[in-house]
Structure 1
C-alpha cells in the first residue's frame, strides 16, 4: 500500500510512535515561527527551561499583531522579542514587515519540511508542500529547544480537485465551498491533502489561501503536492534550491475523498458570524456595505490585491463605503507601489494600512455600529472585529472590490454586466518577488545579545502538581463553538497584556460573562462546562493559561478543538469529555466533586471518573489522554514536565555552548 504525502513527511520526521490513526506520535520539527502576541510567552518559557540556543533549522519571530504600538507595552514587547531572537539565534521580522505566514512563505517555507507555529494559521505553507501545524506557545518553545512535538496521528483525507476555476471565481471560493460542505468542525483530527488534475491549475499563492483557511475547518493541517508551479514560485522568490518534488504515491489510501469540481465554483460569501455560514453572493446581494477590507494572511499577497486594484482602476469607491487594503507583507505593498497600483487605488479612494494582522483581531479599522463590513479575512467570529454584535462577511478580493464600487454586496459578474467595461482580472504573479529584506534581521545581524524586559513583561505562571481531590463550583456553562476569542479577547485594549498574565486574566471569558474572572477568584477556582468544539480558533495558550491562573481545575465539554485541548494539558487543566445528556443536565452554580482519587487515576491510566453533583446525582466523565499527557497533568503542566525530562536526560535539553 502506498503512502500519502502527509505520511511520507511524518515518517521521515518520526521520532517516537507509529503512524496509526489516533496513536500519539513524536516528530522532529525543522522550522518554528511565533508572533508578537504569543511570542513573549514562548521566549519566557524558553528562558525558564534554561535553554541557550535555538536547535531547529529555522526559528523566526514576527511582529505582526500589535504593529500600531498604541502603548509602550506593545513597543516593549517588540523590543523584548528582538532581544530574544538575538540572544537565542532566531530571525527577527520588524513591526510592519508583514504577517508571519506571508513573510515566512516568502522567505523560508520549503517542500517536505515540518513546521510548528504559535498561530493557528501556521498551515499556510502547506501550499508549498510543507507540513505546518499550529500549536500553543510552550509546544513551540519545547520544539525550538530540540525536543519532538507530540500529536495524535491524524486521519488523512483527500480533497480531489478537478476542472479549472471560471472567471470571477477564486481560491477563496474553493475553501468557502469546503466550509459550506464540512462546517467549522469538519476537519477536526484530520489533515486535508489536495490532489487531482485541478491542482496544477492553481498557483502557489492560490494554494496557500486554501491551506490558510483549512484552519477554519478545524483541520490539523492542509497540504498540496509540489510541481512546476511550486518550482516557478520559488524561482520568482530566488529560492530555487529549496525546491523538492513531494507528493503521494499513486496507490496511496485515504480515510475519505471529497471531490471538488473547480469549474462549478461560483463567487461565495460567509455571512455573520461564523466562517461556515456560506452562501452564493447573489443570495445576499443588495445588502448595504459601509466598509470593505482587502488583505490579511489569507488574501494579502500581491496576487490577491492586484485583482482588486484592476477592478477599481479608473473608478471611485462608493461614497457610502470605505475601502482599506491591509497587505499581508511589506513586500506586497512595495511591489504594487513600484508598478503604480498603489497610486491607482489611492486615486480611487482606497486607503492603505501597514502590513499587519490588526483589523482581523479588532485592532484598527473597527466597523461602525449597525454596519456591514466585507472582508477577505479568514474569521468573522462575533465581536472579533472590535465591536460586539458586528456584521462581518468573508469573501474574495473580487467580491470585496465589486462591493466597494457598488456600495452594496453584489456578485462581480453582475457588476461587470452593469458597467459593461469591466473585465475579469487575471490572477498573475510578479516576474520577481524582489522586495527589500531590510526589515528581516538574520541571526548573524542580531543587535542584541541579552534579554531586554520592560515593566509589562511578567513571569511564566506555574501550576501546582495535581491533587488527589478536585472539587468546586461549575462557574460558567457555555454553548457550542466557544472560541478562544471568547475566552481571551484579542482587541488592542486587552492584547497589550499578553505578557502580564495577572492583568490579562481579568478579561477571561468576559465576552461570555463579564463577572467570570472576579467570581473565579472569589470561589478560589472551580470548573467550566461547555458544549461541542470548545476552544476553536486561535492557538493562543493564554486561553488555558488565564483560566489556570484563576484556579480552574478542569473543563467538562462534549468535545474540544485540537490546539486548545493540547493547551489545557500544557497548563495542567483536566479536559473531561461528557455526553450530551450530562451537558444538558448540568447547571451553572452546581457543586461538582470528582469522587475518584484524581492523581492516582491520572497516573494509573484511568479513563472514566465519577463526578458527584450537589450531593444529589452523579455522572461519568472521560479522560482521553496519552501517557505523556497524563504525566504533564500530574506535574501541573508541560513546563514542569519538560524540565523534569531534561533533568532526566530526555526531552528538550540545554544546547552545548
Structure 2
C-alpha cells in the first residue's frame, strides 16, 4: 500500500526512480534539485540565501482562538496597519456557552481590528478557516501562513504553513519567516481508489507509515504521479489537510484541469496556473502510494498514526482494543476506562459519529455519506451522527441537491460550520464513550473529557464513508466496502453571494481612526523580563511520556474561550497532565518578583541552592522537562502560558515540531536539548554568562545541575539560532524585541 524510499530519488518520465538507479551526473542532479515545485515557490518568496531562507508570505490567516493575541502582540510592537492580506475567521469559539459574553466579545474585537488595520473578517458559522481560505484566498504559487497547524492548501498549488501566532506577528511587522532550506519528499501516487475508500483512509495510512519514525518531520511533501488525476479536488484537499499529522512542514501538489475547474467554480479561474515538477526533479526521500490497494482505515486512540485497516480491527477486536484500553487506563490513572466492552458478539459498537471541519465537512464527503445512508436509519439507540458542512456555500449546495434533507431523514443532525468537534468544544462524548470522527485529531482528552476529573472518552478517526456505513448499521463498526451505494453525486455549485453579503472584505483598506472594541476578558500581555547575565532554573514539571502534545501543555476545549486573557488561560497550563504545575511555577515566579523588588532571592530559595554559589545578575525562572514536547497544534499558548507563569526554558531530548520550538523562542524561552533527562521535580539548573553564550551563538551551554545536595556539571544545547532569535531571547520575548526597535 505504502512504500518508503529512504534516500534520494528522481521523479523522471512519470516514474519515481531511486538515485542509485537513475545514472545521472552530478551536474544533472544539481539542476534536478532545482526542479521541484517546492524550490520554485520558495525561491519566489525568499529574501535570504539558498540555504538560509527568509520567507515573505502572500497572506496570513487566524481564527478566533488566536487572532486576539496576535493583534495585541502586534499592537504592542508598533502595528499601524496590516501590510498583507489577513483573514480573521470565527470557527473555533463560535459557541457562546463558556464564560458569558467573552467569545462574542472577541468577535466584536476582531471586526473592529479588521476595520482599523485592514483585514478580512468572516463571521461565526459561515465557514471553518481552511475551507474559507481554499475557497477565496488560495492561488497557485502563493504562500500562506496560518496560526493553525492544519494550514494546508497544497492541493490547490498553494504552499501553506501552520505556525504559532508570533510568526504571523513577524509578517505583520515586515519581518521574515527564517528556516534552513527544508528537505523535500516526493509522494508518488498511482492507481485509483475503490468505491468506499475516501481521502481520510489515504491520510490515516500515510500517517501510520511515517509519523512514528519521523520520516517526513519538518520536510515538505510534494505530491506527484499518475494517481493524482484519479482524485477529485475534495479528495485531494482531504488528504492534504491531514499531512499536518505526519509532522511535515508543508505540502504542494501538481495542478491539472481538475484544479483549474475548482478555481473556475469558485469564480477565480485567473488564480490557476499549471504547476509541475521538472523532468527530472530530485527529492531527498520518496513515498509511493498505490491508491488501488488502500483500504478503509481507522486511527485508534490516541493519535492519528495509530492506524489499522478496519478489516484488521474487526478480525482481531479484542487483541487490538485491549492495547488501547491499557493506554487509556494509564492516562486516566485507574482501571475504569474500557474499550473492550464495545465488543458485542464479535462486532464493535460505537457511541457516536461525527463528520466535520476542514477534513470531513467537504461537499463530496457529506454527499457520499448521504448516498450510503439513503433510505436507512441511524437508529433510536445511543448511537448518534452529527454532520457539520465546512462552509455555508457547501451547506447550501448540499441543501440544493437534496443531500441535507435526506441526512436529516436518516436521523443525522446537521449543524453549521464549526471546528469544535476537532478540539473538544462540541459533541463531547460521554465518559467511556467511543466516537468515530472524520476530523483531524484524536489525541487524549482532545474530544473534551477531563481525566483529572475522572472522565475519559475515546475518539477514532475514520473516513466519512465508513462512518456513514457504521451509522446505517446501527452503530456497529462497518467498512464502506461492505455496503452497496451509488457513488455518483450531483455537481457542486458555489454561491459567492453568501460571502459577498456577509464577509467584511477589508484587506488593504485600513481605517486607522476606528477604535478597537475591548471586552472585559481581553487583557494585555504581562511584562516579560529580559534574559539576565546568569540564570537559575527550577524544574517544576517533568513529563516522561514519549511525546507530549500541545493539548497536554495547554488543553483545548473550554479553555479556548480564555485565550484572550493570558493570565486566566495560564491557570489551565498542564492541568490534565500535571495539575500541580501551575502552583509550583507560581512559587518560582513569586520568588523572582521578590528578587527584583528586594535585590535578592528569598532566604528559603538561597538555602536550597547554596551549593551553587549564585552570583549577582542571576534571574530565577522555571522550566518544563519533557522527552519530546510540542506535537500537534500550532497554538503559541503552549509556550506563552509557561512564560506568563515565569517559565524561562524547556529541556527536552528533542522537539516534536519546529513550530513549538519557534513558539518557545518567540516568547523568550530557552529551547534546551539534553541527551539524558536525569531531572526530577525540584531540581535546579544554574548557568553563568548565559547572555554572552546566546549572543555569541554558542550551541553547547555548560550548566550545573543540583539534585538534592548533589551538583553535577552538565551540557545543554540550544541548536542553531538566527540573529533575530538570539536577540528575541536576550530581550525576553518578541514583543520586547520589536518594542526596542
Question: Please, what TM-score do these two structures have when normalized by structure 1?
Answer: 0.93
SS at match of 1:37: coil
User: Aligned residue for 1:412?
Assistant: 480
1:613-650 Cα shifts (integer Å, max 9, x gaps): 22432321111122221121111122222344xx4xxx
Deviation at 1:431, TM superposition (A): 4.4
The answer to whether the 8 A contact 1:334-1:435 is kept is no
Deviation at 1:86, TM superposition (A): 1.0
Deviation at 1:434, TM superposition (A): 4.9
RMSD between aligned alpha carbons?
1.7
SS at match of 2:348: coil
Counting only pairs closer than 5 Å after superposition, residues 88-127 of structure 1 correspond to structure 2 as 88-123=117-152, 125-127=153-155
Change (3 A) 1:162 1:26: same
The answer to whether the 8 A contact 2:42-2:55 is kept is yes
| 1:481 matches 2:576 | no
| 1:567 matches 2:663 | yes
**Where does structure 1 lack aligned partners over 5 or more consecutive residues?**
417-421, 648-657
Deviation at 1:141, TM superposition (A): 2.2
User: Aligned residue for 1:380?
Assistant: 442
Deviation at 1:428, TM superposition (A): 6.3
Q: 1:296 aligns with which of 342, 357, 361?
A: 357
1:435-494 Cα shifts (integer Å, max 9, x gaps): 6113321118999922111111100234211112221321111122211111111112x2
Q: How many residues align?
A: 627
User: Aligned residue for 1:619?
Assistant: 714
SS at match of 2:226: coil
Report the Cα distance in structure 1 between the residues aligned to 2:155 and 2:491, rounded to whole angstroms. Answer: 15
Report the Cα distance in structure 2 between the residues aligned to 1:347 and 1:424, rounded to whole angstroms. Answer: 18
Report the Cα distance in structure 1 between the residues aligned to 2:526 and 2:432, rounded to whole angstroms. Answer: 40
The answer to whether the 8 A contact 2:221-2:251 is kept is yes
User: Aligned residue for 1:164?
Assistant: 192
User: Aligned residue for 2:686?
Assistant: 593
Q: 1:265 aligns with which of 281, 294, 318?
A: 294
User: Aligned residue for 1:6?
Assistant: 38
The answer to whether the 8 A contact 1:303-1:429 is kept is no
Deviation at 1:219, TM superposition (A): 0.8
SS at match of 1:282: helix
User: Aligned residue for 1:398?
Assistant: 465
| 1:608 matches 2:675 | no
Q: Mean alpha-carbon deviation: is it higher for 185-194 or for 88-97?
A: 185-194
Report the Cα distance in structure 1 between the residues aligned to 2:470 and 2:230, rounded to whole angstroms. Answer: 27
The answer to whether the 8 A contact 1:309-1:341 is kept is yes
Deviation at 1:373, TM superposition (A): 0.2
Deviation at 1:241, TM superposition (A): 1.0
Deviation at 1:432, TM superposition (A): 4.3
| 1:425 matches 2:521 | no
Q: 1:512 aligns with which of 574, 577, 580?
A: 577
Q: 1:440 aligns with which of 475, 487, 503?
A: 503
User: Aligned residue for 1:44?
Assistant: 72
Report the Cα distance in structure 1 between the residues aligned to 2:437 and 2:497, rounded to whole angstroms. Answer: 26
The answer to whether the 8 A contact 2:87-2:119 is kept is yes
Change (3 A) 1:426 1:460: farther
1:49-75 Cα shifts (integer Å, max 9, x gaps): 22222111x211000001112230001
Q: Mean alpha-carbon deviation: is it higher for 263-272 or for 43-52?
A: 43-52
1:566-610 Cα shifts (integer Å, max 9, x gaps): 00000000001111xx12x2222222222x411010001111112
SS at match of 2:521: coil
SS at match of 1:16: coil
Report the Cα distance in structure 1 between the residues aligned to 2:172 and 2:552, rounded to whole angstroms. Answer: 29
| 1:554 matches 2:649 | yes
Change (3 A) 1:429 1:599: farther
Question: Please, what TM-score do these two structures have when normalized by structure 2?
Answer: 0.82
Change (3 A) 1:142 1:628: closer
User: Aligned residue for 1:63?
Assistant: 90
User: Aligned residue for 1:175?
Assistant: 203
Q: Bigger radius of gyration, 1 or 2? A: 2
The answer to whether the 8 A contact 2:357-2:422 is kept is yes
Structure 1 stretches (4+) deviating beyond 6 angstroms? 444-448
1:480-521 Cα shifts (integer Å, max 9, x gaps): 2211111111112x2111011111111111111111111110
Report the Cα distance in structure 2 between the residues aligned to 1:575 and 1:198, rounded to whole angstroms. Answer: 41
The answer to whether the 8 A contact 1:282-1:411 is kept is yes
Report the Cα distance in structure 1 between the residues aligned to 2:693 and 2:83, rounded to whole angstroms. Answer: 36
Q: Mean alpha-carbon deviation: is it higher for 140-149 or for 235-244?
A: 140-149
Report the Cα distance in structure 2 between the residues aligned to 1:578 and 1:59, rounded to whole angstroms. Answer: 39
SS at match of 2:466: helix
SS at match of 2:465: helix
User: Aligned residue for 1:419?
Assistant: none
Change (3 A) 1:161 1:428: farther
SS at match of 1:246: coil
| 1:537 matches 2:632 | yes
Report the Cα distance in structure 2 between the residues aligned to 1:599 and 1:408, rounded to whole angstroms. Answer: 60
Change (3 A) 1:446 1:144: closer
| 1:80 matches 2:109 | yes
**Where does structure 2 lack aligned partners over 5 or more consecutive residues?**
1-30, 315-346, 451-455, 590-620
SS at match of 2:109: helix
Report the Cα distance in structure 2 between the residues aligned to 1:542 and 1:352, rounded to whole angstroms. Answer: 32
Counting only pairs closer than 5 Å after superposition, residues 157-306 of structure 1 correspond to structure 2 as 157-183=185-211, 185-285=214-314, 286-306=347-367
The answer to whether the 8 A contact 1:115-1:132 is kept is yes
Q: 2:420 aligns with which of 358, 372, 384?
A: 358
1:109-157 Cα shifts (integer Å, max 9, x gaps): 111001111110112x111010111111121122133332222321111
User: Aligned residue for 2:328?
Assistant: none
